[in-house]
Structure 1
């Protein structure tokens, strides 16, 4: 599936039918009227989508990373960071065979019509890839720190890099197969050909069967350690207590 460009020059990927009304784009920013040296602005519709969803218990209770509550400032800072990273990746992709990461974070749904429908596509989710993948090793342990350090020091394109991913989708679009289509499309169209990924390690709370099912649909299988019993201690804002996690892995078949 080719990479497309909107009239404004924004690259995007279209999901295959029956989800061809869904596109994947880099994070969007708006030039700051205070000058080229000022931090870019975030579209209000995107910022609203981010803060609304990451403060929804149907989403945040199944995530480990984002702060709770998730503030407007959190959304601005994070989007600026990943937008700058996406720009660097896209620039590198013009000259390098393999690049450090995937620039397509935003999952968007197209309006029914209009010449500017790409620009008006509504953000309904997010998906990201990173090198922090060692869920089977206890957090904050020397073993995990050493594994992450070794993984981080590998150069872009090294097949030995262990990748992971994170994602969320607005609850109104749960159960439609969108996330599985987005994940499998990115793996096929970018993560393998442009990152040379060979191993992707995912995890989910054991109770989050929907997320595990998404990964299974995309070819992930359970690792040797299926469930890490009580390995995650949650803050009170996420319900407190300890939860089991499922570790699940994808391998490229050469």
Structure 2
């Protein structure tokens, strides 16, 4: 199956299909700060995110906001160049993807459309794609070598391995939102505009709900890396987990061959 990019598509502001909610993907905004802090200090969310500090402070949020805003701004500049190139040549010579892709997940009122100028719908989560850190490689030296080589590949190279990470505020768990978001981004952005061929997702071994998200989006199980993450004491206490050292499951999506 060949995916044809949509000429009217805005990857920084669009509505995705969901059976009961109006889910809108857009860019980071400072008005999301309070909800983000509340979400990531909720053990139901923060305890399952290995790279997120806990407790999550205003300083942590400020750093992450600027990181994601810079990444989003870079993606938008790449998008503008890509559109200009395709309009002038009719080909896909340029690709996005020199840095990470970030989509903020929002929920709109019934019947809501993509965001109008100056309007921000409520924040309910975030999904990020970045060049992979190869979590499936357990040897630290080999992992670093693979990560460095992966980072050097030019945007659009089909050999790039990407990682995906995401979270939703706890009130929206179990509603089928993340499979809809992840599958939509793969189809609408990653494949036609970034030429993504391989994508890695990881989950804490006890977080089977996250594993099911990946399965619903066509990921296959690669391996379980035992005791891959050692939780800081405060996060371990808040989590309620039985063990401080957590194994991670590694899942991989691959672009289907043309039929």
Name the TM tier (shorter chain).
0.7 to 0.9
The correspondence for 1:236, drawn from 233, 236, 243, is: 233
Equivalent position SS for 2:227: strand
Equivalent position SS for 1:231: strand
Please give the alpha-carbon distance, in whole angstroms, between the structure 1 residues aligned to 2:149 and 2:122: 38
Shift of 1:111: 2.5
Aligned counterpart, 1:14: 15
Residues 37 and 58 in structure 2, CA contact (< 8 A), matched pair in contact too: yes
After superposition, the Cα gap between the structure-2 partners of 1:116 and 1:166, relative to the gap in structure 1 and judged at 3 Å, is closer
Shift of 1:237: 2.1
Please give the alpha-carbon distance, in whole angstroms, between the structure 2 residues aligned to 1:117 and 1:201: 30
After superposition, the Cα gap between the structure-2 partners of 1:213 and 1:114, relative to the gap in structure 1 and judged at 3 Å, is closer
Residues 106 and 125 in structure 1, CA contact (< 8 A), matched pair in contact too: yes
Q: Which has the higher contact order (CA 8 A, sep 6+)?
A: 2
Please give the alpha-carbon distance, in whole angstroms, between the structure 2 residues aligned to 1:117 and 1:228: 41
Structure with the largest fraction of helix: 2
Structure 2: stretches of 5+ with no match in the other structure: 1-5, 83-93, 237-242
Residues 138 and 225 in structure 2, CA contact (< 8 A), matched pair in contact too: no
Shift of 1:19: 5.1
- Tell whether 2:60 aligns with 1:54: no
Render the CA deviation track for 1:173-208: whole Å, top value 9, x for unaligned. Answer: 111100110010011100111111100011111100
The correspondence for 1:246, drawn from 242, 246, 249, is: 249
- Tell whether 2:144 aligns with 1:158: no
Residues 110 and 120 in structure 1, CA contact (< 8 A), matched pair in contact too: no
Residues 14 and 114 in structure 2, CA contact (< 8 A), matched pair in contact too: no
Count of equivalent residues: 231
- Tell whether 2:118 aligns with 1:132: no
- Tell whether 2:85 aligns with 1:82: no
Structure 1: stretches of 5+ with no match in the other structure: 6-10, 29-41
Please give the alpha-carbon distance, in whole angstroms, between the structure 2 residues aligned to 1:123 and 1:18: 19
Equivalent position SS for 1:160: coil
Shift of 1:230: 1.8
After superposition, the Cα gap between the structure-2 partners of 1:246 and 1:78, relative to the gap in structure 1 and judged at 3 Å, is same
Equivalent position SS for 1:105: strand
Please give the alpha-carbon distance, in whole angstroms, between the structure 2 residues aligned to 1:115 and 1:172: 22
Aligned counterpart, 1:36: none
Worse overlay, 240-249 or 57-66: 240-249
Aligned counterpart, 2:182: 183
